[in-house]
Structure 1
Amino acid sequence: MTAEEYEALPEDISKTIEIVDGQVIYCDSPTPEHQRACRRLANLLEGHARAAMRSGHDRLAVDIDVDLRLRDLPLLNRRPDVILYRCLDRENKERLTGEHALLVVEVVSPGSETQDTNDKFTEYARAGIPHYWIVRLDSAGVSVIERYQLDKAAMLFKHVNTLMKDEAGAPPEVGNPIPITVTWDDLEF
């Protein structure tokens, strides 16, 4: 499928697929727990994005399950679980691409382990996205956040650290791409 063919699709179809190397990949419907985790992560990031903007950061947006164009030839279009990005120029119909993204988050579900930890891991790095989180769930909600940062020289993600819900002490604080305090209680089901 080409970029032009993809853009001509009705939204009710395009929101159910990803395009990898021009091939259509059907996206299974996420579980309620997966959707809840994505929504809570987006809420957490959005609150911190607003605080960053009040402190002078460029305009930021947080969305879930939106088109992210990683490459035109062959077409590579993903729909990340959660994305923090610089606001787009909607008047000029600017498309969300890797250069806008500051952080992409994928929540691992049964059946998505290889895609999230290998395929998307590599694709997002090659697109120049500076930060990537792989999130794991337990029966109570988000339990692990694996943080990666782009090594621009190698165009590969390097592991920064792993945040775990059961660690003692104050909620972990992350300094980039914006200051974020991970409040585990906000990420519970």
Structure 2
Amino acid sequence: MLVSEVPFHYKRPDTIVYRCIETPRNRWKTKPTVADTILVVEVVSPTTVTADTIDKRSEYARYGIQHYWIVRMANDDGPAVSIEMLTLNSEGRYVSNGFRNRTDDYAAATDTLTPFPVLLTWEQLDEGID
């Protein structure tokens, strides 16, 4: 997602959900900007713990991205073991909008209406793992 053209700054979250861009915009065409972004998801690995949980958290808050989810994996490449769903509050800080841990008694990994309805089981998330 484009943060700024001058100076050029572009971020590549692990997953991004953004508003539909119907009309191409100059050289960026239909690529998303920060203003288009609804949700970013970062998948934490042992080498990105600080970047994903602290650095990007403050960056995304500064950019005004309303929803930020942090996914933790077992052994760096195993199944997802937790999902932390954060929402930007009026003070510009992320607050918890839900936390799911695979070992808890939740059948669903996500079951939320915010920022849009998402119902995923842990097994559905596992299907994406090779």
* 2:19 match: 86
Unaligned runs of 5+ in 1: 1-67
SS at match of 1:146: strand
Conservation of the 8 A alpha-carbon contact between 1:173 and 1:180: yes
| Structure with the higher helix share, 1 or 2 | 1
**Residue correspondence of structure 1 range 145-164 to structure 2 within 5 A:** 145-151=83-89, 153-164=90-101
Q: Distance in 2 between matches of 1:72 and 1:125?
A: 19
| Structure with the higher strand share, 1 or 2 | 2
Write out the 4+ residue segments of structure 1 that deviate beyond 6 Å after TM superposition.
Answer: none
% identical aligned pairs? 36
After superposition, give the CA deviation of every residue in 1:90-130 in whole Å (9 maximum; x if it has no partner).
53324411111111000001211111111111111111111
After superposition, give the CA deviation of every residue in 1:63-95 in whole Å (9 maximum; x if it has no partner).
xxxxx1123454431100001111113533244
* 2:50 match: 114
After superposition, give the CA deviation of every residue in 1:21-49 in whole Å (9 maximum; x if it has no partner).
xxxxxxxxxxxxxxxxxxxxxxxxxxxxx
TM-score using structure 2 length: 0.82
Conservation of the 8 A alpha-carbon contact between 2:17 and 2:39: yes
Structure with greater Cα Rg: 1
Conservation of the 8 A alpha-carbon contact between 1:70 and 1:124: no
Aligned in 2, Cα 1:81/1:71: closer, same or farther, shift over 3 Å? same
Unaligned runs of 5+ in 2: none
Q: Distance in 1 between matches of 2:3 and 2:91?
A: 18
**Residue correspondence of structure 1 range 109-148 to structure 2 within 5 A:** 109-139=45-75, 140-148=78-86
TM-score using structure 1 length: 0.58
